[in-house]
Amino acid sequence: MAGYTELKREAYEANVALPKHGLINLTFGNASAIDRAKVVFAIKPSGVDYDALKPDDMVVVDLDGRVVEGRLNPSSDTPTHRRLFLAFPEIGGVVHTHSSHATAFAQAGIPIPIFGTTHADYFNGEVPVTRKMTPEEIASAYEWETGAVIVERLQGLDPADFPGVLVNRHAPFAWGPSVAKAVETAVAMECIAHMALMSLQLNPDLAPIEKPLLMKHFKRKHGPGAYYGQKAAG
């Protein structure tokens, strides 16, 4: 089982990055990293303080939801992470927070409108919001069904174009090729939610960013034509 050391460290680093970025209210929030070869993911234990967290506290779970390694209960949101890993085979990590500004949009059931280039650097459009869950979904396997409404909302969209979502009445989820990138997207969601709220105060009828500028910025960072960062540096 020594094979999970690196995976647990990756999940641990992402989890402790969340309070460092100011994304955690109370103990809400969790991050997970998947090893696609071994078909397991490492996730935060439930209700443990971030201060006390150690890499070895991470719980390793398989895609059927069975604990493979770990002494603690996995996060109660584990089935949501599992549902996303099953539906989006290209993602390597999932992050859930209750960050204040993004959660304010989620609670109101309102997508984060795309007003500027900061947003367009991360999302290829507004940040989507799920439909409300039915009483039946809530009464049954609630956390699994939370994942299911996210997957339903992403239907027809590329999870690389829309690397996060607001769960209605609840809070944001983010994902990405790695859990570290999912953390960055969670930071971006909080930041663009804050700025959108203020832009809306300045102009409640503000139109979304114009398409050519949106595409320019999104593609500056994503896909074959990307030229931001050091990847192409000589």
Minimum distance from residue 197 beta carbon to its own copies (Å): 6
Minimum gap (Å) between residue 6 Cβ and its own copies = 21
Q: Strand 30-35 vs strand 59-62: parallel, antiparallel, or unpaired?
A: unpaired
String marking each residue 23-62 x if it binds its own copies according to CB under 8 A: --xx-x----------------xxxx--------------
The span from the CA of 103 to the CA of 26, in Å, is 14
Q: Does 115 bind its own copies (CB under 8 A)?
A: yes
Task: Determine if 63 is a binding residue for its own copies (CB under 8 A).
Answer: no
- Rounded-to-integer distance, Cα 168 and Cα 171, Å: 7
The reply on whether position 107 binds its own copies by CB under 8 A is yes
Q: Taking CB under 8 A as the rule, does residue 152 contact its own copies?
A: no
Please tell me whether residue 202 binds its own copies under the rule CB under 8 A.
yes
38 or 99: CB nearest its own copies: 99
What whole-number distance in Å separates Cα of residue 113 and Cα of residue 62? 36
Number of residues forming the site for its own copies (CB under 8 A):
62
Segment interacting with its own copies (CB under 8 A) among 4-12, 85-93, 151-159, 222-230: 222-230
Which of 44, 81, 82, 170 is in the footprint of its own copies by CB under 8 A?
A: 170
Question: Is 232 near its own copies (CB under 8 A)?
Answer: yes
Binding piece for its own copies, criterion CB under 8 A, among 2-10, 123-131, 150-158, 212-220 = 212-220
